[in-house]
Chains A and B, each alone.
Chain A
């Protein structure tokens, strides 16, 4: 949808930040809704939940029960048009509400958590739910029929991530809100949901500071794999069963590269720590951090730059600090020189991991 993209680009001043783009989207939708409510006042019913409870337009000619007139007994062209418009607006409203939810899902759920099926479900499911609710409305008998039909169809789909379930619940809730013609509730629900989710993603809310790092998690199993001690080693037969020739070659290549970085056998490792830096200004931060590393590290190497949109990018260095430099000194020096250019900086050292996990290779 190039038009939408151009519109949102214009509204968000070309920003790639998801929060700004969401704000721009909702502003645009708000303007459209105000316009719709102005030119087509009946649409207000769909937003404020009066639709289901509001009777037909007045004056309303009642059917004559003694001498029925054919014109009055059936659905008139006017009511058919109204029904069509209402249903169309309800379904369009549902899509308008669910599109940003799917964008947030795609933004905040990078691989491997991302599932295309879930994204498509987020758009389609609320449409179906809204349609069902529109049909069932206040009819108890239809509701029982629906329960019977649903009971006959069994679903056995497991979602990989519990957070996906929340998205599915949200799409059902929006479908219900649209079905009972209370789109305003659905709108508030999705807006709050989207912004809360983006903020929790942006600030990594809920991250346990005591959670072991990736390096410390791998320290034990890798040491066990490399051990030549009979008690701790992983038997070769197990590796034979686990690895294919292709994956064994790939693993060998990776270990060779790691060996090159670490240095020759029998000598001390060339690099003993990983420095991670989170920043919104990668180039400037890199320049400042590297100045400190020149001074405080015996040797260092830029390992990886992970660029994020909407939250700080990550820069990783592997290094061997000078003996006289402690972890705190290094981090303090970086914070002093980089100031606000750096959001977060951390140093993970090999010695600390070995001490924590109790591994000695």
Chain B
């Protein structure tokens, strides 16, 4: 009986102690660390600091286990990053300058699962892409909130496997194709343009650029885009390819601005985003090491560039 009483008192003490710790509380020491990080990053951006170890990265944040399979990355209007893993409809909001997960919210009831591949932001709307071309549309939620969503079925899953999504300035959803189904298009980079205003019955137009123009002197045999972002300064499309470990930048018209390797050797770059103040964020899925988000100055230092002719078509024209 005495033993039972002792155990009960211990459990009650632990429970109460734990309950007393307020959710969302940052200690003074942690606040100081966050301020130091912010200042360090500002110094690095300004070029005052030269203590960056191992390359051009401004900062690298090691992600928690829940984001080990980080898949998509996007920037919100207030400069935060949105990230998610590839299985759960759960979005993490990360302050990139301080390396702080500020909140997380769930899409649907919290148990939404799917092969989520990418995320993009347009105004107040957030778009999350499934590899079969289905898009989940929702708004940013509060910490711990389950937000409602609607789905857009592009019906493009049989033509293409998707891993990236971006929304351009005109509100057109851009879907770069990782693996093209149609043989005739396999030697080209294909980007579908899905216009939100036209509804589900539309047949999207496509931007097609031959691989030969994109690859140039890089030595890649082909190109498998794993994510895409819009440069807020120029409106250019920035695409990363995990398999080729490459980064390309093209104009909305299809001209190649930049084609070269990623800023640093990366194990599996799955997400890309660019902030208004010129920071390129690349998420790297964790395999042997933990997943990370790395920040670089944008635009990057000049790399190999190959310019090519534009090829824009509507699929109905190509039939």
Contact = CB atoms under 8 A, between A and B. Distances in A.
B137 interface: no
Interface string B18-48: 1101011010011001100100100000000
Interface string B53-72: 11001011111111100000
A67 interface: yes
Interface in A79-120: 81-82, 84-85, 88-89, 92
Contacts of B24: 57-59
Contact of B61 (A64, A71, A84): A64
A58 B61 contact: no
Interface string B88-125: 10101010000111111000001100000000000000
Contacts of A72: 33
A55 interface: yes
Q: Which of B19, B30, B102 counts the most A-chain CB atoms under 10 A from its CB?
A: B19
A59 B15 contact: no
B132 interface: no
Contact of A88 (B11, B29, B65): B11
B1 A55 contact: no
B38 to A, nearest CB: 12
Contacts of A85: 14-15, 18
**Is chain A's interface secondary structure helix, strand, loop, or mixed overall?**
mixed
A60 B95 CA distance: 10
Contact of A59 (B4, B61, B62, B101): B101
Interface centre among A50, A59, A61, A81 (most CB of B within 10 A): A59
B57 A66 contact: yes
A62 B94 contact: yes
Contacts of B104: 55, 58
B159 interface: no
B29 A82 contact: no
B17 interface: yes
A1 interface: yes
B143 interface: yes
Contact of A67 (B1, B16, B53, B292): B53
Nearest to B95: A59
Interface size class of B (residues with CB under 8 A): 35 or more
Given A40-B19, A57-B24, A69 B62 contact: no
Nearest to B104: A58
A63 interface: yes
Contacts of B40: 67
B294 interface: yes
Contacts of B103: 58-59
Nearest to A86: B18
A62 B101 contact: yes
Contacts of B88: 53
Contact of B33 (A3, A42, A59, A61): A61
A66 B18 contact: no
B150 interface: no
B100 A62 contact: yes
A10 interface: no
A3 B40 CA distance: 60
A58 B101 contact: yes
Contacts of B52: 66
Contacts of A58: 24, 101-104, 143-144
Contacts of B19: 39-40, 42
A36 interface: yes
A2 interface: yes
B15 A40 contact: yes
B15 A36 contact: yes
B1 A42 contact: no
17 contacts: A1-B4, A39-B16, A40-B19, A42-B19, A53-B90, A53-B111, A55-B64, A57-B24, A58-B143, A59-B102, A60-B101, A61-B30, A61-B34, A62-B62, A63-B62, A67-B51, A85-B18
Given A39-B16, A65-B61, 8 more contacts: A40-B19, A53-B90, A53-B111, A62-B61, A62-B63, A63-B61, A64-B59, A67-B40
10 smallest beta-carbon distances between A and B, as pairs: A65-B60, A55-B66, A63-B62, A60-B101, A62-B61, A62-B99, A40-B19, A85-B18, A65-B62, A66-B60
